[in-house]
Amino acid sequence: MTEYPDLRERVLEANLALVRAGLVVLTFGNASAVDRAAGVFGIKPSGIPYDRLTPADIAVVELATGAVVGTGTRPSSDTPTHLALYRAWRGVGGIAHTHSAFATSWAQARREIPCFGTTHADHFDGAVPVTRALTPAEIAGEYEHETGEVIIETFAALEREPLDMPAVLVASHGPFTWGASADEAVENAVALEAVAASAYRSLALAGELGPIPAELLRKHFSRKHGTAAYYGQPS
């Protein structure tokens, strides 16, 4: 019997959801979910096409050691990035990484995504940050681990909590999103691509453009998030 069947199913569904949303092509990108009680996380295997994925293909990795559980598939090459984030941010339950077109364009331009309007403010509390570029030594060393570390460094410097801003652009690379679950991580990846596209088109139309007024940002974000939220139905 395959170990961690529920975890594997959740990770499979998160990865397939990225495909349905049009955020990945070929074998690009990956999603993962953590089981903190068991001390493991599941992640897409490296190089296997999404249309061939099964629950048994999902790689399971120990949080403490980074070792693959059992003799299963080789995990995504981005596994050390996910591992670094799970170790640093205990509130994060799922992570998604894509090379979606518009968010990746902002990452390659090494530009944060400004909050130009209420669509952005409904989901992200201000500009989506971009990391610094990795140094030659970081690239030559444990590259994927250093990618995780530069994300953590970026949030520490900005004094942001990861669940308050569940997205980042890794300079010259692409977007990572996360959430309390893998489903939330995927939802945030979908939202990030939407606001990245809108921001790009806004600049194309308007040229120079300033961010949304702080009062309007706060109003729209607080309608959906926090103790004062009133969007949607009561739970």
The string of pLDDT tens digits covering residues 80-105 is 999 999 999 999 999 999 999 999 99
Kindly report which listed range (83-97, 136-150, 214-228) carries the lowest average pLDDT score.
214-228
Q: Is 143 helix (H, G, I), strand (E, B) or coil?
A: helix
Q: Can you say how many angstroms the Cα of residue 44 is from the centroid of all Cα atoms in its chain?
A: 14
pLDDT of residue 162: 96
The string of pLDDT tens digits covering residues 45-80 is 998 888 899 999 999 999 999 999 987 788 999 999
The string of pLDDT tens digits covering residues 151-203 is 999 999 999 999 999 999 999 999 999 999 999 999 999 999 999 999 999 99
Place of tokens 């900005």: 158
pLDDT of residue 235: 66
To the question of pTM greater than 0.85 for the whole model, the response is yes
Instruction: Look up 57 and say whether it is catalytic.
Output: no
pLDDT at 228 over 80: no
Active-site residue, selected from the candidate residues 122, 125, 164, 230: 122
Active-site residue, selected from the candidate residues 6, 143, 164, 231: 231
Q: Select from 189, 181, 171 the least CA-distant residue to 23.
A: 189
